Amino acid sequence: MLNPTLGEIAKAAQRLGYEWSYPAGIPSAEFLYLHDHSHKKFLVNKTKSPFLSSIQAKLVTDKYLSGQMMAEAGLPVAPKRISNEFSEADIAFLHEHREIIVKPNRMDRGVAVKDRITEEHDLRNAYQSAFRYGPVILEKQITGREYRVLVINGKAVAALERKPLVLKGDGHSTIRDLIVSLNLDIRRGVAKDRKPLRPISLAADMGTKLEAIGLSFDYVLENGQPKQISFSNHLDSGGIASDCTDTAHSVNLKICEDAAQLFSIDVAGIDLICPDITKPISPMDGAAILEVNPGPDILWHMYPTEGKPQPVADMFVQYVCGSK
């Protein structure tokens, strides 16, 4: 019954000598009580701690407002505008920045996000898709490598790079064949089975996205030809999580800690894009914090595709219940 994240938190509690239970004794996939050594109870919602302010958690779901607050605080963010009705100002924003991202202001997990928009007709289509979910954000496209930094109680404790899904052609297999072959990898599966990779979807939406870059499921890549086919920075789209906790530069980790502190988010996932997280960000890099996420997923840090697993469930329990 436990959500995979809560399952890991429950196991961590047992490892550390704490107890856990369901609220009112009713099995739940979303909530769990953790008990400290004096049997005091702490209610957690996945990785949302009992110390998280509901006001602050709601604040960071507003991408435009939180972005403007970070800019005001001197943190690196991409230029953006919010729009409630498609207008000439949206077209002007595209012309100013040449390449932009369009997304709903309050959705997550890559819902209705369209990136690398350079043409007006693509902007109109992307806007219509995003507007179904409310006000729309237009944001300058920032190029670089994408990272997720986990902050617990003000300290950056883990970092990973989100690498895109790349297919390599063999000269005779179609893109559909290559995806089917990748899905046979025993490392691919659902989160509850602690798999470091997710299955790659062959749904119609993938076909539409392939068409947008001039490909199709029946297209045959040349032998040795690599082709990026993931279209979201979310790892559930088929990408790879590569741990970089030990190599991330302290300056960059401090920036992520400052972003979490700005919103008083005690357990936060900071999405950062920059040329290389091992080197300190400079004003000339074009680096940016994309989002501050309350209650972030910790499974990718625990079971990365590449690199060293991080004991972040243990860190979360120790933070909530207090170090032994």
Overall average pLDDT of the 167-182 stretch = 85
pLDDT for the residue numbered 196? 66
Overall average pLDDT of the 14-34 stretch = 93
The predicted-structure confidence for 281-312, as pLDDT tens digits, reads as follows 986 788 999 999 999 999 999 999 899 999 99
Rounded to two decimals, the pTM is: 0.86
Task: Spell out the domains of the chain, with CATH numbers in brackets.
Answer: 4-52 (no CATH), 79-141 (3.30.1490.20), 165-238 (no CATH)
* Cα 96 to Cα 287: distance, rounded to the nearest angstrom: 18
Higher pLDDT, 17 or 324: 17
pLDDT for the residue numbered 103? 93
The predicted-structure confidence for 219-250, as pLDDT tens digits, reads as follows 888 888 888 776 554 566 677 889 999 999 99
The predicted-structure confidence for 64-85, as pLDDT tens digits, reads as follows 999 999 999 999 999 999 999 9
How many CB atoms are located within 10 Å of the residue 179 CB?
20
Rg of the chain over CA atoms, in angstroms? 21
Most distant CA pair in the chain: distance in Å?
65
